[in-house]
Amino acid sequence: MGKTSVAAAHALKSSKEGKKTLIVSTDMAHNLGDLFNIPIGKVEVEVADNLFALEIDPNYVMEKDFKNMMKAFGNMISSLNPENTEIKEFTMIPGMDELFSLLRIQELYNNSDYDRIIVDCTPTGETLSLLKFPEMFGNLIKTVLPMKRKAVKVAGPMVERIMKIPMPEENVFDDIELLNEKLYKLQSIMTNKEILSIRIVTTPERIVIKEAKRNFTYLHLYNYNIDAIIVNKVYPKQALEGYFSKWINLQEEGLKEIQASFSKIPVFTLMLQSKELVSEKLLLDAALQIFKDTDPAAVLFRDKIFEVKKISDGYCFILNIPFANKADMVMGQKGNELMIQIKNEKRCFTLPDVLKNKTVQSAKYTDGQLSIKFA
């Protein structure tokens, strides 16, 4: 869908406006260097005036900030099969690479002098995994860490002696506490609608539009602000004449569906280019075509994920999750937490104070809003 090219076009336009800009790739199949024809790695490199680029190496972040923790994981895993050299080399828990990529971005935000940071994210599923990590890991660590630290002190020596599995040392828990602190700060940054927004890149094809809608639903569920939709690879009508004439109507239908579905959000288009976007000039031309006079760095739309309204016989918790299917929803309450699941994506909401000690009475989903009555 050209997400890297669109991200690079954003970054180049920003740099031409005099803003010191960094474009970051979290995709393991990095190709930023191909666009600028410059080798790019784990250290920022200047690719144009005022524009720097970085391809994140999560292993570098892991070794730099959480060496004790990852070494402990590696020792515990390798002790299960000391003859297997591949296991001995394993230190990365599945999903941790996405987490460390986010922590590197957080470090850049806190400790660099860039005016703007633009992130070229991984493909859809991996991006969603990456964006839900701060909340998921933060809740897990907050709940489990105190118990684990105490359990290791009390039972660790016995487990180590009987099971032959090395128990983590105290400095490992220090690393985990550091991780928890960073996750808390990261979540604050990522849900701050004044400084961060997400843009979905799609094409005017029915199956891709459906994917864009699903992405919007899931991202909204995690309280991320989507402030623009960018439709890439829009074919000029003259290119679809003759053999491809049937595609004209299909593309028009797709564009109308996007405009109708995302009517509240700015929608930008980029025509299919006659050349690959592999130079500074072509990328800048693409950025001007997408945004024209719009500032690409501005937060173009803000929405809130939920609100609480007082009603005559209780309260109504209103959750904005467009494009969801009621049949795919599962909801549950445990104490002062509300769980919402849509297909495979699940989020637990800590209820506002006004709803604490109240229980769900009913729920309905209409016009993209899930209304839950509490009393």
How many angstroms separate the CA atoms of 214 and 39, rounded?
Answer: 35
> Do the Cβ atoms of 51 and 280 come closer than 8 Å?
no
Q: What is the mean pLDDT of each run of 10 residues along the chain (375 residues)?
A: 87 93 85 88 92 88 68 53 47 61 87 93 64 63 53 45 46 68 80 91 94 89 91 87 83 95 94 87 93 89 90 94 93 91 87 91 94 96
Classified as helix, coil or strand, 343 is coil
* Model confidence, pTM: 0.80
Distances from the Cα of 196 to the Cα of 34, 290, 297, 326, angstroms: 27, 20, 10, 29
Distance CA 222, CA 255 (A): 27
Q: Where in the chain is the domain with CATH 2.60.40.790?
A: 306-374
Cα distances (angstroms) measured from residue 74 to each of 66, 85, 166, 346: 12, 11, 10, 29
Would you identify the CATH topology of the domain 306-374? Immunoglobulin-like (2.60.40)
Q: What is the pLDDT of residues 322-355, one digit of tens each?
A: 999 999 999 999 888 899 999 988 888 888 889 9
How does pLDDT run across 212-263, given as a tens digit for each residue?
A: 999 899 888 888 899 999 999 999 888 777 878 888 889 999 999 999 999 9
